[in-house]
Amino acid sequence: MSVIVRAKALRRLFDVSKPWLNRVVEREPKAFLTAVADVDFEIEEGSVYALVGESGSGKSTIGKMVVGLTSATDGTIEIDGIAITGNDQKAKISEARQKLQMIFQDPYASLNPRWKVRDIIAEPAKLRGLEIKGLPERLLQQVGLSPEDADKYPHEFSGGQRQRIGIARALSSEPKVIVCDEPTSALDVSVQSQVLNLMSDLQEQLGLTYLFISHDLTVVEHMADKIGVLYLGALVEEAPKETLFASPLHPYTRMLFDAAPRLDGFGREIDVPKGEIPDPINPPPGCSFHPRCPLATSLCKTVRPQMRLIGDTRVSCHHV
């Protein structure tokens, strides 16, 4: 198995300063929010790598950096060995970028309402200069819709059907890697599993690689081969799915598992995670999870834990 996506020391800051005049008057320095902090991961070709974490943990920012919708502040992303974050070898970078596509969370916002489905689906293929005659119709069938749907507009479809169109669109440029950002979070529960099954089938049939982003552990369990757990922009734990579900090591991962909406024998939901996510503009020193962590000691308040390999799990915690 070869690595197709490699992220090294990936960082992304956002400038969240007040307007210049306010800063001068109030004598405030610029303020930066760290959305992604030194993230490393590798995705093997033909596998599904899931990033899981609460809202605001940096999942979408990582996904956007991988497909090139957002630039990295620091660090590198390689696709098939080509560093797409560098600025040399323009031709090679654009060739590498052509191997990428993205499926977005909101199937209502991500399809141009004025375009016919045919044109929506054909667009990525057209941009790559591929033959598009009959392609939208073929892809519509592949995602479980009908070839006649090519002449309709997005508003004529349900949420689940629109996401199928989004998938057909992503497939049209024959990508090797698809970043799927919460692709079923906006859908009714009853439709979610159908769309997830379709995505799983396509991944296997076409040998695709997915970077699959979700805040939902049940969805991740359904889809992933390997899982990375994000907290405040940093990876805190990464393991093959079976390992992570059988023995989560990081206290945050355990907290997520405890919080996952599970029904006990009486049909009650179990508690949500304790404590707030801290402010990413002023993250806590040491381990950024320490204010919420039941195991925290003075070491955790001062020294940032490094990633360690324990069995086939990578984990950053002083106490595991």
User: Alpha-carbon distance 180 to 104, whole Å?
Assistant: 6
Q: Considering the complex, what minimum distance in angstroms separates the CB of residue 145 from ligand ADP?
A: 28
The C-alpha atoms of residue 110 and residue 163 are separated, in whole angstroms, by 9
User: Between residues 60 and 192, which has the closer beta carbon with respect to Mg ion?
Assistant: 60
C-alpha count within 13 angstroms, C-beta hemisphere, residue 44: 8
Residue 71 near ligand ADP by CB under 6 A: no
Q: Which of 6, 45, 56, 115 binds ligand ADP (CB under 6 A)?
A: 56
Contact with ligand ADP (CB under 6 A) among 47, 57, 85, 163: 57
Q: How far is the CB of 59 from Mg ion (least distance, A)?
A: 5
Establish if 61 lies at the interface with Mg ion (CB under 5 A): no
Say whether residue 33 binds ligand ADP (CB under 6 A): yes
**148 vs 279 by CB, closer to ligand ADP:** 279
Considering the complex, state which of residue 280 and residue 286 has its C-beta at the smaller distance from ligand ADP: 280
**Which residues lie closer than 8 Å to 177 by C-beta, 6 or more apart?**
4, 5, 43, 66, 79, 99, 100, 101, 208, 209, 210, 211
Q: Is 259 helix (H, G, I), strand (E, B) or coil?
A: helix
Counting contacts by CB under 6 A, is residue 228 touching ligand ADP? no
Q: What share of the chain is helix, strand, coil (3-state, %, to 5)?
A: 35, 25, 40
Length of the chain: 320
The residues that touch ligand ADP, with contacts defined as CB under 6 A, are: 14, 16, 33, 35, 53, 55-61, 280
The residues that touch Mg ion, with contacts defined as CB under 5 A, are: 59-60
